[in-house]
A and B are shown apart, each in its own frame.
Chain A
Amino acid sequence: GAVVSQHPSRVICKSGTSVKIECRSLDFQATTMFWYRQFPKQSLMLMATSNEGSKATYEQGVEKDKFLINHASLTLSTLTVTSAHPEDSSFYICSATGTGDYEQYFGPGTRLTVT
């Protein structure tokens, strides 16, 4: 149980375009979802926290207009990187928690490359 999927696993896009990453909880209802960014050989950096039906809470230094997060249902959250630039290239990981459960379940990650 407690499986989280991400799609796509890898994406390459041109500079200036937008790309959407999906995060789904497959067998539980995710009341809260989290988006992390991981730079090479570094730890995870929390970008934002989103609760279903509410606006996301962004960490300091994360541009909310650049990284649009939507958590429209209890099983799906999306991260849209708008007007992507090469410096946005990174590994993006989502995680989710269920009702009354503090445990975070991580997705497999999405490798974004902006050319």
Chain B
Amino acid sequence: QQQVKQSPQSLIVQKGGISIINCAYENTAFDYFPWYQQFPGKGPALLIAIRPDVSEKKEGRFTISFNKSAKQFSLHIMDSQPGDSATYFCAASNEASGSRLTFGEGTQLTVNP
């Protein structure tokens, strides 16, 4: 059972544009929502994370927007750069599951020069 659904599957953006990746979750017990970035040949690396007590979190060019009532959250990459080209995964966990992460299917982002 896929508890975190991610879209789009792939995304092509021009340099300087905004990349937007969306996720929706089913389990209302989830209360920690990280985003991971994965480059080819590497493991996923934590990019930014949010808890549902805030609706937005920004770190540099990366912003998470969170809508608790809709059970959705999204990653916005401002001023996208070719170096941002990677696969992005949303994930979720909660206190009961400890550090066990439930991942979305991933979005392959390509930023053209």
**A and B physically associate:** no
